[in-house]
Amino acid sequence: MDKIFHKEVTIQVGQAGLGGELFIPPDAKAIIVFSHGSGSSRFSTRNQQVAAYLRERNFGTLLLDLLTPEEDNQYQNRFNIELLTKRLKGATEWLERVPAAKNCRIGYFGASTGAASALQAAAGLEQVGAVVSRGGRPDLASLNALKAVKAPVLCIVGSLDTEVLELNKQALKELRCHKELVVVDGATHLFEERGKLDEVAKLASAWFEAYLKPVSITK
């Protein structure tokens, strides 16, 4: 593939058609699937910024909506981790069937409640090679799922996001995989302070670089 693959997609998972945006740079080694948080979508400016940084470093990205617009209008769906997990797993399996994604590793980038669904999906999908959580709620994942995750997990939390920071510490105690917590000094929950989201993008990129090595291509 000698040019970037960029396509607006609709991913069918059960009865739901989920809107998404798939970028795959030339010679991409891995594709990062974004699991958005409560009330967010594939148009999230924060996740779009992180995704753009990753693409500059030759990662593919899949930003998608885990809920349809009608479902998102029902507030409780945003915290339905089981539903979000089912959708994320379905989107991952769809991605593996895309010819342009052949031989690419898969990683997850989860934010807020999306981090819980990313961990639960990773617990059931061995092909997920790394997970990064930004201001996430890993505590909302089931205890069994946390203990079953094998992929390396990085949790990034702002130092001023004290409640979420404590919840992350508690959840990380349950993870049995390789794990790390990075606290970004002076950042609040959304990392809106100057330069803080850039720090998140750099940390995420380094984590994926370390743990999403290229797959061996069989001839």
Per-residue pLDDT averaged across 137-144, rounded? 96
Fold of 5-211: Rossmann fold (3.40.50)
How high is the mean pLDDT of the chain? 92
Give 87's strand partners. none
Instruction: Tell me how far apart the alpha carbons of residues 5 and 77 are, in angstroms, rounded to a whole number.
Output: 32
Domain boundaries, the chain: 5-211
Residue pair 88/110 in contact by the 8 Å Cβ criterion: no
- Reported confidence tier of residue 93, pLDDT bands at 50, 70, 90: very high
pLDDT digits (tens, 9 = 90+) for 191-203: 999 999 999 999 9
Question: Which uninterrupted H or E stretch holds 180?
Answer: strand 179-184
Q: Percentage of the chain surpassing pLDDT 70?
A: 94
pLDDT at 177: 97
Check pLDDT > 70 for residue 126.
yes
- Reported confidence tier of residue 45, pLDDT bands at 50, 70, 90: confident
Please report, in angstroms and rounded to a whole number, the separation of the first and last CA atoms in the chain.
Answer: 17
The model's pTM is: 0.93
